[in-house]
Amino acid sequence: MNIKNITCIGAGFVGGPTMSVIAFKCPFLKVNVVDINKEKINKWNGSDLTKLPVYEPGLDNIIKKCRGRNLFFSTDIEKNIAIADIIFISVNTPTKTKGIGAGQASDLKWIEKCAREVAKHANGHTIVVEKSTLPVRTAETIQIILNTKQDFQDQDKMKPTFAVLSNPEFLAEGSAINDLENPDRILIGGDDIQAKKALSDIYKNWVPDEKILFTNIWSSELAKLTANAFLAQRVSSINSIGALCESTGADVREVSRAIGSDKRIGSKFLDSGPGFGGSCFKKDILNLVYLSKYFGLPEVANFWESVVTLNNWHQNRISKLILKKLFGTISGKKICILGFAFKANTNDTRESAAINICYDLLEEGAILSINDPKVTASQIELDLGIPESKINSDLNEGDSHTVENRWEFHKDIELASEGADAIVILTAWDEYSEIDWNKISQRMRKPSWVFDARSIVNPNDVIKSGLNFWRVGDGNENFSNN
């Protein structure tokens, strides 16, 4: 099959970077990325590359090189389906909010809509690739929709034909470009030999042959869910041990190092933090839970569900701990939050631990001053469901500790910490590990605390500056200046 035109439906965190890298590595292919969201497409096409809808280190350079050459962003879905030899479906698959399976099963309405659009507008033979993360056997549904192209009446044309493949994406946000350029593996599931060859030939332009794995379609779909479940399970496992460390005097960093040096365990994904966030871990595990229940395996469902339960408990544990350390009340106290993204090097806040933790603190009456290098105030407003309200603007001098349930955004870390009773570090941005604690300490209201949920600051620097210090999973009791 001679592949010339690729279309990707969905210009989000996966579609945008993935297609940019394909365009970059395969200059002889024309790559079109389409989306129903006009505002997003305008941002992808904007001249200011600091305002792309997705922040990923290195992405701006690739866009600069490829956009307008062989990479195009557009809302013209119909035309770009019609010209495509391969169509990647990379739309969102969030957890269902109502109906059967609500709260656990994936909502496939966007996938189904795409399949119907493809069925309607495709020409000739088209390879349809599931890039979105999908429950097992979704490819079957897509194939059925494509094969029953009901309105095909054009006698002069051949009826379009389709081959469906599963090709899940394993990139992590914040390192997406590197992950795409140097993947651990490319997984291709399906039966159609020609389609598999056509898709793998694209990847072979930069991925070694031995890293391209072929499986049956259901194994490929299930492997994606399983990979995320295993990764999230490690985070919940280490966070559970972190809590035990805090109670016993052990240090979770030392435990991680000790167990991670065992090759069978490995050193990655053993950092205790504020609990896993991101758009996929929770959604994909809940999906696995739903599938296990559906297939009559309640023990399997309970096992995986506990990974999410532990994560929720852990996030709530951190909020409670802050409350306890601040004399049991934070009503009217100013708390500075450093980091709102779910991890460093991304502007994505979906399921960020910061949302739950900030929400808990606001519920207790705290006033929050939030800093993040890449997340905007308007995004935080959407996530918290509470409008930003300048803490001091409509108050008299000295009133800042009297008005509850407010938050404001600060680009500057020092200004964010002004008059704060506590600083809570929730995202491991590099700049937070370089903070001058002497300067910050002078601005805070004493006695003041630093809560490091990411273990990125040097405890001695904080303590020397006269601040009390807590960090996740550390049972050392000598951190408090109280």
Q: Which does 349 bind (CB under 5 to 8 A by kind): ligand UGA, ligand NAD, none?
A: none
Residue 375 binding target from ligand NAD, ligand UGA, none, CB below 5 to 8 Å by type: none
User: For ligand UGA, which residue of 276, 304, 340, 409 counts as binding (CB under 6 A)?
Assistant: 276
Minimum CB distance to ligand UGA, residue 342 (Å): 4
End-to-end, the C-alpha distance of the chain in Å comes to 72
130 binds, among ligand UGA, ligand NAD, none (CB under 5 to 8 A by kind): none
CB atoms within 10 A of CB 28: 8
d(Cα 286, Cα 293) in Å, to the nearest integer? 11
Q: Which of 314, 409, 405 is nearest to 357 (CA)?
A: 314
Q: Are strands 212-215 and 125-130 parallel, antiparallel or unpaired?
A: unpaired
DSSP string computed for 201-236: HHHTTTS-GGGEEEE-HHHHHHHHHHHHHHHHHHHH
Nearer to ligand NAD, 173 or 452 (CB): 173
> Active-site residue numbers?
169, 224, 280
* CA 81/CA 124 separation, integer angstroms: 11
Q: How far apart are CA 448 and CA 422, in angstroms?
A: 5
Which of residues 34 and 165 has its CB atom nearest to ligand NAD in the complex?
A: 34
Tokens 């200046």, located at residue = 481
CB 346 within 8 A of CB 387: no
Show contacts with ligand UGA in window 343-362 (CB under 6 A).
343
| Beta carbons of 48 and 204 less than 8 angstroms apart | no
Q: Which is nearer to ligand UGA, 101 or 278 (CB)?
A: 278
Segment 100 to 159, residues that bind ligand UGA, using CB under 6 A: 133
Q: Which stretch binds ligand UGA (CB under 6 A): 77-85, 163-171, 206-214, 387-395?
A: 163-171
The residue length of the chain stands at: 482
Q: What is the largest CA-CA distance in the chain?
A: 84
Q: Residue 113 touches which of ligand UGA, ligand NAD, none (CB < 5 to 8 A by kind)? A: ligand NAD
Q: Is residue 336 a contact partner of residue 367, using CB atoms and an 8 Å limit?
A: no
Site string for ligand UGA, 198-237 (x = CB under 6 A): ------------------------------x--x---x--
Nearer to ligand NAD, 417 or 427 (CB): 427
Beta carbon of residue 312, minimum distance to ligand UGA (angstroms, whole number): 14
Residue 284 CB, nearest approach to ligand UGA (Å): 6
Q: Which does 214 bind (CB under 5 to 8 A by kind): ligand UGA, ligand NAD, none?
A: none
- Rule CB under 6 A: which of 251-270 touch ligand UGA? 269-270
What is the closest distance, in whole angstroms, from the C-beta atom of residue 107 to ligand NAD in the complex?
10
Q: Closer to ligand NAD at the Cβ: 37 or 316? A: 37
Task: Using CB under 6 A, list all residues that contact ligand NAD.
Answer: 9-15, 34-37, 40, 77, 90-93, 110, 113-114, 132-133, 169, 171, 173, 279-280
With respect to ligand NAD, which residue has the nearer C-beta, 20 or 132?
A: 132
Q: Which is nearer to ligand UGA, 119 or 255 (CB)?
A: 255
Smallest CA-to-CA distance from 372 within 343, 338, 344 is with: 338
Please, what's the b/e burial string for 345-377 (b: 16 or more CB within 10 A of its CB; e: otherwise)? bbbbbbbbbbbbbbbbbbebebbbbbbbbbbeb
Instruction: Give the whole-angstrom CA distance, residue 302 versus residue 236.
Output: 15
Considering the rule CB under 6 A, would residue 432 count as an interface residue with ligand UGA?
A: no
Please report whether residue 429 would count as binding ligand UGA according to CB under 6 A: no
Task: Provide, rounded to whole angstroms, the least separation between the CB of residue 460 and ligand UGA.
Answer: 24
Sheet with 125-130: strands ordered across? 71-74, 30-34, 5-9, 86-89, 125-130, 161-166, 186-189, 212-215
Q: Which residues of this chain interact with ligand UGA, rule CB under 6 A?
A: 133, 169-173, 228, 231, 235, 269-271, 273, 276-281, 342-343
